[in-house]
Amino acid sequence: MSVSALRDLADRLAKSDGSPNWIPYLVLRRAERGTGYEALMYEPMLYFVLQGKKQLSVGRKTFTYGATDFLILSVDLPVNARVLEASSAEPFLGIEIRLSRELAREGALAVLPASSPEAGPAFAVGSLSGATVEVLTRLTMLLETPGDAAHLAPLYTRELLYRVGQSPQGHLLRDALRLGGQAAQIQRAIDWMKANFREKLSIDVLAQIAGMGMTTFHRHFKSVTNLSPGAYHKMLRLHEARRLLLDAPTVSSVAFAVGYESASQFSREYAAQFGAPPRRDMLSERSGSLET
């Protein structure tokens, strides 16, 4: 099976509005035009690009991945993402496989390489192999056959994880499935931060949750996420603020709701992150929502 066949299949299925998804962790992505940067919280995933290009910014690192590339992400990360290349004639097409502990039950542990003993970036871009394309095609075809999906999706998913696991980026899969490694320790701290982002940041508390000394935790956190704990904490607050702004009565109410003590500080940091003050950005987002 070829990339072009998988591309045609994904395009056809993605355009079928209202079709039920028999494989809940598989998501088809399609866009007919480029987009501006969107502030998103990415959870652990495999993201296969079949056509077009995407760009992702994590902290100060920006990278592009396109057709026949895949992104692997092993911890939750606040990112800025945009579709770079897409048109009605050649839409952007992608397949997202959300990684979770549930997938470990499909036998992933037996086929995955060991985690790296050293902390390193929780994200990487790799190239699709022919074997990966073949099993990804079979898995995607199951969206049309629910009777087969219940029995075959676990088998094909296990094979897909095995194929990706053989790539140079494969060690990140074990971290993504919470099966070990220092990224899994960092993820425990991230989970706490996501649930308590309104609170003041305490590196001591986070280090204890991760099971590390403070200096080690700070170093490994930045190595894994490309962000300091303080920058990650700030981005959690700002991403939530941007979501709240669509329905908020005032900017200051949003600032206080996400944990800021100063509305002016919130506005400065918001503009630095998103390129516009919160009030202007709010009006722009509302206008865009009305247009669509």
Paired sense of beta strands 61-66 and 26-31, if any: unpaired
Q: Report the top-level CATH class of 3-176.
A: mainly beta
What pLDDT was estimated at residue 52? 96
Query: Which of 38-42, 47-51, 68-72, 84-88 has the weakest average pLDDT?
Result: 38-42
Res. 65: pLDDT tops 80? yes
Q: How far is CA 195 from CA 17, 75, 90, 167, 199, in A?
A: 34, 15, 40, 34, 9
Angle among Cα 187, 190, 192 to the nearest 5 degrees reads: 115
The whole-angstrom separation of Cα 73 and Cα 86 is 23
Task: Please compute, for residue 157, the number of CA atoms within 13 A of its CA located in the half-sphere on the CB side.
Answer: 27
**182-291, what's its fold?**
Arc Repressor Mutant, subunit A (1.10.10)
For the ranges 96-110, 124-138, 159-173, the maximum mean pLDDT occurs at 124-138
What pLDDT was estimated at residue 291? 41
Residue range 137-143: average pLDDT? Answer: 96
pTM of the full structure: 0.87
The whole-angstrom separation of Cα 192 and Cα 8 is 41
Q: Give the confidence band of 119 by pLDDT, cuts at 50, 70, 90.
A: low
Q: What is the mean pLDDT of the chain?
A: 88
What pLDDT was estimated at residue 234? 95
Same fold, 3-176 and 182-291: no
Domain ranges of the chain: 3-176, 182-291
